């Protein structure tokens, strides 16, 4: 049989709890669809710092490289926040993206009708919002040279933002390709009126655009995008942008849906390999209490099934199960209006499995 290898890096905080439920869901699909998975756990993030002295141990990287897909929980927490750079969980996150060549981060931000009230936006503005942010993930100011030097006015810090044509082209093409499978609208976000990297970005977008005549293209300045997301979120289909802007814009988009506990993400490279994780963080404040929401991680599995394995039917089955459990009124604390009726992490996972 075709055994798929899954690297599981649960990470910190609520990471292990939510990943646990996602694995239960994957096992359920083994039963229902005859899939076969082999799970291998790796230490990553804060826990890896504590146990191995580095956020991304070589062993974990090897497990990932040897796998067909990676399921990631979440990393980080106050315990490691004041560590020097090489001993910080985020450094592991940047390292794994680079080491695995995951240049493309796909973050759907869509509204769950039954959770519309959870958003701080007016329902009539939010209605129909269903967008995807395609974020460049291994270039730009995150990975450019950084250093300190002594200057005339005290210490001076420098970050360098670099993009080459090939890097821009591959992520922009991905934006166009994804738009093609959807409502055929692409918003390319840059700051071309100020930045040289953005001017290169825009040139590449304009050069490639004629190959996608079926996709309607708009250029949006990043500051304007931050505004338009608030004003007309439903009008966006696919947004493609560079690393730093994507970080900010995708978080804004996620929050405005009101469904941050529900949003999944994929980080992809060349080929079908991918790393899948919830958009939310490690939530150290509620870790270990069994009250976290596993849905974003469970939906990350659905994304993995679609994008890495082509298991469309099983993906749909998971998504439908989530929807039916929500429609039946079940809520974890983060999305419950009446907190006293909130259910726990395991209960939510079990209900979804039962609905599959």
Ligand X SMILES: CC(C)[C@H](C(=O)O)[C@@H](O)C(=O)O
Catalytic site includes residue 214: no
Q: Is 247 a catalytic residue?
A: yes
Smallest separation (angstroms) from its own copies to the CB of 47: 18
Closest CB 349 distance from ligand X, rounded Å: 24
Please give the Cα distance from 14 to 284 (Å, whole number). Answer: 7
Q: How distant, in Å, are the alpha carbons of 59, 146, 246, 249 from that of 242?
A: 30, 18, 6, 10
Residue, CB closest to ligand X = 90
Site map (CB under 8 A) of its own copies, residues 198-217, x = contact: -xxx----------------
223 is catalytic: yes
Binding region for its own copies (CB under 8 A) out of 16-24, 44-52, 127-135, 163-171: 163-171
Annotated active-site residue in 50, 130, 251, 350 = 251
Pick the binder of its own copies from 171, 186, 238, 256 (CB under 8 A).
Answer: 256
| φ, ψ of residue 123 in degrees (nearest 5) | -55, -35
Footprint of ligand X on this chain (CB under 6 A)? Answer: 90, 93-94, 193-194, 223, 247
* Contact (Cβ atoms closer than 8 angstroms) between residue 352 and residue 301: no
Is 251 catalytic? The answer is yes
Q: Tell me if 262 sits within 8 A of 115, measured CB to CB.
A: yes
| Gyration radius from the chain CA atoms | 20
State the Cα–Cα distance between residues 13 and 279, nearest whole angstrom: 14
Q: Please identify, among the stretches 28-36, 159-167, 304-312, 343-351, the one whose residues bind its own copies according to the rule CB under 8 A.
A: 159-167
Closer to ligand X by CB, 4 or 280: give it. Answer: 280
Task: Judge whether 88 is annotated as a binding position.
Answer: yes
Positions in 215-234 near its own copies (CB under 8 A):
222-224, 226-227, 230-231
What is the nearest approach in angstroms of ligand X to the Cβ of residue 242?
12
Does 150 appear as a known binding residue?
Answer: no
- Using H for helix, E for strand and C for coil, what is the string for 307-340? HHHCCHHHHHHHHHHHHHHHHCCCCEHHHCCCHH
The torsion region of residue 128 among left (phi > 0), alpha (psi -120 to 50) and beta comes to: left
Query: What are phi and psi for residue 331, nearest 5 degrees?
Result: -145, 140
Active-site residue 305, yes or no?
no
Q: Is 184 annotated as a binding residue?
A: no
Tokens standing for residue 53: 């002295």
Catalytic residues: 142, 191, 223, 247, 251
């Amino acid at each position: 049989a075709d055994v798929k290898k899954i690297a599981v890096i649960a990470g910190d905080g609520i990471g292990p709890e939510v990943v646990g439920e996602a694995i239960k869901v994957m096992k359920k699909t083994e039963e229902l669809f005859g899939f076969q998975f082999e799970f291998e756990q790796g230490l990553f993030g804060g826990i890896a710092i504590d146990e191995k002295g580095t956020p991304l141990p070589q062993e974990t990287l090897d497990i990932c490289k040897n796998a067909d897909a990676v399921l990631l929980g979440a990393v980080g927490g106050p315990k490691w926040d004041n560590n020097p750079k090489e001993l910080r969980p985020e450094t592991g996150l940047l390292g794994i993206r680079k080491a695995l060549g995951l240049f493309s981060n796909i973050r759907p931000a869509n509204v769950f009708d039954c959770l519309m009230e959870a958003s701080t936006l007016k329902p009539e503005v939010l209605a129909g919002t269903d967008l995807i942010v395609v974020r460049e993930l291994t270039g730009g100011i995150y990975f450019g040279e950084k250093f300190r030097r002594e200057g005339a006015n005290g210490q001076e810090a420098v970050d360098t933002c670099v993009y080459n044509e090939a890097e821009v082209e591959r992520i922009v093409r991905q934006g166009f390709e994804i738009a093609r499978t959807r409502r055929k609208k692409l918003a390319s976000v840059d700051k071309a009126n100020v930045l040289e990297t953005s001017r290169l970005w825009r040139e590449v977008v304009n050069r490639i655009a004629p190959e996608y005549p079926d996709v309607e293209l708009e250029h949006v300045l990043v500051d304007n995008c931050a505004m338009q997301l608030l004003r007309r979120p439903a009008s966006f289909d696919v947004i493609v942008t560079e690393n730093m802007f994507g970080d900010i814009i995708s978080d804004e988009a996620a929050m405005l849906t009101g469904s941050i506990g529900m949003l999944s993400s994929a980080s992809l490279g060349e080929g079908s390999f991918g790393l899948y994780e919830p958009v939310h963080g490690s939530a150290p404040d509620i870790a270990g209490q069994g009250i976290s929401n596993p849905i974003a991680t469970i939906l990350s599995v659905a994304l993995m099934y679609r994008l890495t394995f082509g298991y469309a039917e099983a993906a749909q089955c998971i998504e439908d199960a989530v929807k039916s459990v929500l429609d039946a009124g079940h809520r974890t604390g983060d999305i419950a209006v009446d907190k006293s009726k909130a259910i726990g992490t395991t209960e939510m996972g079990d209900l979804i499995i039962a609905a599959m």
